């Protein structure tokens, strides 16, 4: 829809009243996305009630790439780009890379696009809607698998993966109610809920990852300041050489765990 046909000021006012910090930018994107005034009003109303902008538009931008988004899926956060940086540092030409708990495939798509060398990139997630999006977002749809953690992966990958990037849910169950409405009410709980202390999935990944990593392979997993030491300890106890990595600019934190022979 052409901006000249829309009441931009009115839309901005409605969005600002609903608490949208970047109301002007969002208004422009909604106008661009709508094909009529009726559709535009419906899109604005969805945003006013808290629906994530990305789910309304049908795409999210992550590290300069537009990724397909469906209603209900987890929208990748800016801080998760830190995992891409850590993975790229470790990925050598021909490396096998896995985006585990991939969601819409943001890590896989970005790593593949930015590597500058040929990589074998795979992805997996348990949420069917997220997997559907990921198969449109990554270069090789046949390398995106649906299932619980490592279970759906081809057995041929066992012991051969050089880099695993993981953004598993890590919000404690009781803390979800304190999250912004955009996440709490519009993203699948399976992508947010990390169990009583937020570390249920981190424990499972720490126990299962060594069997899939090549000797000397690296796993990077997003965590929080409050949980980082406990996440690191989980991997250290599983036999990894684990350290905490931080990126203050993006308020991001991760644990980087190297697979040793002992871990295998």
What digits encode the pLDDT tens for the residues 29-41? 999 999 889 999 9
Quick one: which of 226, 217, 102 has its CA closest to 240?
Answer: 217
- Give the burial string for 225-243 (b: 16+ CB within 10 Å, else e): eebbebbbebbbebbbebe
Rounded to whole angstroms, the Cα distance separating 175 from 225 reads 15
- Give the burial string for 187-218 (b: 16+ CB within 10 Å, else e): bbeebbbbeeebbbbbbebbeebbebbbeebb
For the chain, domains (ranges, CATH) are 8-49 (no CATH), 78-259 (3.40.50.150)
Per-residue confidence band for 263, with pLDDT thresholds at 50, 70 and 90? very low
CA 178 and chain centroid, separation? 20
Rounded to whole angstroms, the Cα distance separating 68 from 52 reads 14
Position 7 scores a pLDDT of 86
- pLDDT tens across 223-235, in order? 999 999 999 999 9
- pLDDT tens across 57-116, in order? 999 999 999 999 999 999 999 999 999 999 999 999 999 999 999 999 999 999 999 999
* pTM (whole model) above 0.85: yes
Per-residue confidence band for 262, with pLDDT thresholds at 50, 70 and 90? very low
Rounded to whole angstroms, the Cα distance separating 149 from 238 reads 17
Q: What is the mean pLDDT of the chain?
A: 95
Q: Cβ distance 125 to 151 under 8 Å? A: no
Q: DSSP strand E in 76-201: where?
A: 96-100, 120-125, 144-146, 161-166
- pLDDT tens across 153-201, in order? 999 999 999 999 999 999 999 999 999 999 999 999 999 999 999 999 9
């Amino acid at each position: 829809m052409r901006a000249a046909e829309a009441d931009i000021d009115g839309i901005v006012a409605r969005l600002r009243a609903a608490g949208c910090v970047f109301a002007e930018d969002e208004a422009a994107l909604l106008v661009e996305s709508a094909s009529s005034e009726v559709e535009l009003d419906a899109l604005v109303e969805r945003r006013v009630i808290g629906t994530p902008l990305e789910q309304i538009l049908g795409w999210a931008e992550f590290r300069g790439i537009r990724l397909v988004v469906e209603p209900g899926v987890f929208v990748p956060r800016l801080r998760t780009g830190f995992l891409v940086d850590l993975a790229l540092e470790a990925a050598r030409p021909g490396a096998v890379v896995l985006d585990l708990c991939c969601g819409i495939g943001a890590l896989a798509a970005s790593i593949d696009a930015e590597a500058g060398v040929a990589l074998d990139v795979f992805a997996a997630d348990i949420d069917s809607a997220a997997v559907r999006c990921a198969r449109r977002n990554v270069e090789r749809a046949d390398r995106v698998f649906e299932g619980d953690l490592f279970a759906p992966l081809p057995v041929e990958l066992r012991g051969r993966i050089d880099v695993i990037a993981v953004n598993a849910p890590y919000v404690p169950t009781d803390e979800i109610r304190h999250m912004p409405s955009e996440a709490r009410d519009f993203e699948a709980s399976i992508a947010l809920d990390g169990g009583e202390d937020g570390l249920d999935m981190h424990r499972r990944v720490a126990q299962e990852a060594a069997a899939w990593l090549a000797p000397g392979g690296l796993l990077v997993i997003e965590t929080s300041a409050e949980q980082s030491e406990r996440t690191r300890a989980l991997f250290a106890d599983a036999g990894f050489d684990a350290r905490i990595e931080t990126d203050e600019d993006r308020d991001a934190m991760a644990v980087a765990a190297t697979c040793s022979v002992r871990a295998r």
